[in-house]
Structure formats: structure tokens, C-alpha cells
Amino acid sequence: MMVDEKMAPMHAEEKAIEESVENDQRLDRIDTVDIDNYHGIDIKTVLVYVALCINYFIQLFEVVGVGSLSRNIGAAVGGSNQTVWLSQVVVIFTTVLGPPASQAADYFGRKWILVIGSVFGLVGALIFSRANTMGQAIGGQSVSSIQFMSQCLLTAVASEIWPRKYRPAAQGGLNAAGAAGAIAGLLIGPALTTDHLFGWRVYWYIVAGLLGISALLIVTLYNPPPRPLQKSLSTREKLSRLDWTGYFLLCIGLVLFTMGLSWGLNPYPWSSAYVLAPLLVGACFFVALIVHQTFFKKDGLLHHDLFKKDRNFAVALGCLFVDGIVFWAANSYFAFQVSVLYESKPILIGLHFCIAFFAGLAFVMVIPLLTKFTKRLREPIVVAFLNFTIFFALMATTKLSSAAAVWVYPIFLGWGLTWSLTYIVTAAQLSAPPHLIAISSGIILSGRSFGGSVGLAIFTAIFNSKISHLGSNIAAAVLPLGFPPSELPGFIGALAGNDQAALAKIPGVTPQIIGAGVHALQTSYLSSFRGVWIAAAVIAGATVFACCTIINPKNDLNNHVDAPLEE
């Protein structure tokens, strides 16, 4: 009898320990209580947030550099027809690595994923800076793009260390840092390449240096307490919970689908096997991913709890997909049009695009007040996509005489970009359970990158289909003026490259013929750009109606802090 009495407390204690472990292992499925656990602003939280903003600054600095300097890089190392892949690898790596990184962060912690991403970015930037062929440049950019897997964690950590009512302001601050990075890139890039063919190498030295500083700041400042799952699960258990099948299907499907889209009319026709085969096989992998996530892995990449609370996460995912499309349309073609039609000085070309980010910095200042007094997310998102639509519609109306107007139009783009990304990310995070904030951020930002990848391919195909008539348009303009047909290939090449010395050496060239050729070239480019802007305007305009279905989560904008930096 005495033995049983002694054993009873032991059994009770063992049972309590087992229940405690089981509860720890199930914490990833338990909602956090929305209590007021905010105790004011402390210096540690502020410093960590500043470190996150610096990292975001660097990422936008590199993204803008890839877009704005791709023509300079192609001219320096060759392979100009492959420069689209310098941007494509960024969106591919962000899409493929973002969800796994965000899911792994719940088990292994956020800190070292952020640091490792910065280290890969540094190494890749150094490889890129020494590239002598386009293949080497793409390889270096591929390594450097691994850093973008941490983009989702920047937005997640920025939100979870502050009270929920400050989330729009926290996301707005990140976007302000990104806008500053874009402005710096757009001004520094042209300054380095104006008189130096290989000046872009210095740009990537700067990227490497900034990433080293970022890694050091994160190591020094960000030391959050371990999460329950970090402590309660073994490494094997953590690895087993990751959605390896989902990662595989997403990676293969995205790479093949993007290859097919990118090769459409660049250089293969849409009916070619080089285009159709990767497109169709990639689509099959996407279908397999949807089936896998729907029926076999309900807590994987597309965790079913993300869609249970309300429709905001699903709508935000679609809206941010379109945001990626329209951003890469502007990032790839706005400065391109300015450089071909309105301005020859690289610094002024970059300054045109800077207007969008200056406007973004101005409109981000409104976000804290707007959130405090209205607690509404739907209306700012609708306004953002209306601004996108206005910008692209205005660009579609540009003429050869629109040099002054294109200084003003980017204001609408900057307003849209700042409010769109800020409020959509906030809506998605508040719609997801608190323990899924990282994976929710990873999914929607990967959706944005996937939209950018699809958009790049679509707009490249539209532009190439139009610009393919450049040669015939120039021929139609100069041959009636008596220009010898045998000299036409050299004339078109010199004209397209703006090589005045080569033009002067071509037999039969007169100022009148050069003028007619330049006009034909400019009108051909104008028509090609117009096709891109019309497509982007239609896509953005259609998305306005989807934005109207977002629910305003007023009650969720409270004082609860999901992941304080102190126990």
C-alpha cells in the first residue's frame, strides 16, 4: 500500500512532464492570446528594427542595380539577350527559398537564416563583380540571390516585435528603407557607369560590403529568446516537419515554367518545343503541388490554417502577386523608355525613376496617422492599385514629346508601391494565426516574386513581339530617300547602338537619312513600350475589384506583441 502511495506522485509527475512536452510540440497549432503585453518602446527593439531596415535597404539596392545596370553589364561582358536572367534569378530564388526559410525559422530560429542569407549575398556579389562573361554574371547573381530567402523574415520579425497596432507603421518603415536603397542604387549606378564600361563592378563591391555590415549587425543585435519548438524538438524532428515534397514541386515547377515564359519570342516562337515543353511540364508540377497541399500536406507550404480565419490571406496573396507583376514592369521598362526616348545622361535617367521612391518616402509618412485614426486596410490597398492603374495608363499615352510628363508620372507609381506592400502584408499577417506569421510572410512575398517572374516573361514577350519590326520600320523610312539597301544592316546596328562614329562611315548616309532612321527607331520603341504599359494597366485595373473584398481587421490592431525580444 505504501509503495502504491509513493508511486502515485511519480506517475503523476511523469504524466505532467509528458503533457508538457506534448503541449510544447503542439504550440505551432495554438493561437496566441490577444492580451496587452506591451510595456513600451525599449532600445533593444529599436536597434533590431534598424538592423532589419538596413538589410531591406541593401536588398532593394541590389534589385534596382540588377534592373538598371543590366544593359551596361551586357555591353561589357556580352550576352545582352540573356540579361533578363539577371532579374529572373532574383525572383526565382525569392519564390523558391522564401517559404522553406520561413517554415524552417519556426523550428531553428530566425537569426541564423538572416545571417546565412547575408553571407551568401556577399559571396555572390564578389563573384558577380569579377564576371567576364554573362554566364559568370548570372552564376554570381544566383549565389547572391540566396539572400532574398530572408526577405520574408524581415517583414515577419518587424511585425512580431512590435504591438499589432503598429504593424502598418513597421511595414511602412521597411518600405521606406527599401525606397532609400532604390534611390541610392539609381543614383550610384549611373554615376559609376557614365564614363566607365566596367563601373558596375564597383556597384557589386558596394553590395558585398553592405551585406557584410548587415550580417554583423544581425549577429550583434538580434538575440531573441529561443522559441518553444526550438527547445522541445530534436533536429531530426524539426527536419521531418519541413515540407520537402512541396519544396521540390515548387522549385522544379517554377524554374521550368519561368524558362518557358522567358524563351517565348526570346528567341523561340511560342509554338516551339523549347517554349511549350518547359511550360507544360512546369504547369504539371504546379498542379501536383496544389494537389499535394490540398489533400496530403495540410500543414505544409500552404498551411490550411492560413485560410481559416477570413478571406484576407487569400485575397492578399492574389493582390501581392499582381503587385509583383506591376513592380517589375516599371523596374524593367520605365528607365529603359526614358533612356531611349527622352534622356541620354545616365544620372538623369536614374533620377527619373527616383521620383517614384521619393514619392514613396513622402506617402509612407502618412501611414502611422492613417492607421491610428481609421484602423482600415482595405481603402489604402484600393487606392494603391488605382495609382498603379493611373501610372500605367498615363505611360501608355506617352509620345515622343512627353519628356516633361515622365518626370511627374512616377509619383503615382511610388504612392501605389508604398501603400500596396505595406497594407497587403499587414492584412495577410493579421489574417494568419500568430504562430504562422513567418510562413504567411514567406508565402505572400514568394507570391509577389512569382508574379514578378511571370510579369517579366509576359512583358518581355510583348516588347520583343513589337520591337521585332524595328528593322523593317527603319528600312521603310530610309530606303525611299535613296539609301543603298546593301548598307542597311550596318546602318540599323549603328543606329540602335547610338554609335555616331559608325554612322558617319556608312556610305550614302546623309543628315536627312539619319533623322528619318532615328524617328523610325524611336516610334518603334514607343509602340513596343506602349504594349507593355497597356497590359500592365489592364492587370492593375482588374485587381482593384479584388482589393474591395478585403475585410478591415479593426479589432486585431491592438496592443498585443506576438514575439517580444525579452522573455
190-201: per-residue pLDDT in tens?
A: 888 888 888 889
The highest-level CATH class for domain 39-243+297-469+524-556 is mainly alpha
Among 79-88, 109-118, 176-185, name the one with the lowest average pLDDT: 79-88
Query: Using CA atoms, how far apart are residues 17 and 182, in angstroms rounded to an integer?
Result: 52
State pLDDT tens for residues 345-396: 888 888 998 999 999 999 999 998 888 888 889 999 999 999 999 999 999 9
Distances (CA, A) of 228 to 20, 301, 323, 343: 11, 21, 35, 57
Residue-wise pLDDT tens digits, 469-490: 888 888 898 888 888 888 888 8
- The x, y and z cell numbers of residue 272, run together, are 516551339
**Domain extents in the chain:** 39-243+297-469+524-556, 244-296
Whole-structure pTM value = 0.82
- Determine the Cα–Cα distance for residues 53 and 464; give it in Å rounded to an integer: 37
DSSP secondary structure string for all residues of 202-252: HHHHHHHHHHHHHHHHHHHH--PPPPHHHHHS-HHHHHHHS-HHHHHHHHH
pLDDT at position 567 over 50: yes
pLDDT value of position 7: 43
pLDDT band at 257 (very low <50, low <70, confident <90, very high): confident
Confidence of residue 16 (pLDDT cuts 50, 70, 90): very low
Query: What is the band of 416 on the pLDDT scale with cuts at 50, 70, 90?
Result: very high
Mean pLDDT computed over every residue of the chain: 85
**Which residues contact residue 340 at a Cβ distance below 8 angstroms, ignoring those fewer than 6 apart?**
522, 525
pLDDT at 89: 85
Contacts of 506 (CB under 8 A, 6+ apart): 487, 490, 491, 494
CA angle, residues 515, 520, 521, in degrees to nearest 5: 95
Could you give the angle at which helices 167-193 and 43-68 cross, rounded to 10 degrees?
40
Asked if 292 and 245 touch (Cβ cutoff 8 Å), the reply is yes
